[in-house]
Amino acid sequence: MNIQRLSTDFNARLHVEQDTDAQELNCLTVALPPYTSIPIVVHREGAGMDALWADALAMVAHLRAQPWREVHPTTVFQPFGIISARNLEDVRREHAIRREMMIGELSLPAHLEHMASISGTEARARHEQGVASLCRALDLMDGAPLPASFPCPPLKALH
């Protein structure tokens, strides 16, 4: 992954970036630091980049409208939205690697104290799961196939 800034619109408070290593640009990610720590993926099967761009701008507007606790008054700090053109498989792979590494961290020494308070059988099972997750993360970094994804069913709005 090699994210490179393409442009900055100071009036719209927006940075536009692109992954220059991507084989194909077929999704966008949206972030509003410091309010979002993990970028939100904007992708619709069969949608072109123009439609995804419109969705990404709508997502930035939605994130800005959230009732965040302000870091500073808007006269001092207004966050920049960041829209990045990416490859969906690369984004999914990064999420899968982070997930496996997070699960694998449960087997590290920082958790040994907690492991001592549970049964030996459960502690071994958790340790083995952690080691397997770290091995899976390494396999994903080496290009192992991702698990099949399921399309998210449309959900009705709750309000």
Domain boundaries, the chain: 1-86, 89-147
Spatial CA neighbour of 63 closest among 44, 84, 79, 74:
79
Contact 115, 126 (CB under 8 A): yes
Q: What is the pLDDT of residue 83?
A: 97
Q: What is the pLDDT of residue 41?
A: 93
Kindly list the averaged pLDDT for each block of 10 residues, start to end, along the chain of length 159.
92 95 93 90 91 95 88 85 94 82 66 69 75 74 70 62
Please give the angle made by the CA atoms of 58, 93 and 64, to the nearest 5 degrees: 20
For tokens 């302000």, name the residue. Answer: 70
User: Measured between alpha carbons, how far is 122 from 114 in angstroms, rounded to an integer?
Assistant: 11
Q: What is the pLDDT of residue 155?
A: 64
What DSSP element (H or E) covers 81? strand 81-86
Write out pLDDT tens, residues 60-93: 999 998 888 888 887 888 899 999 999 998 898 8
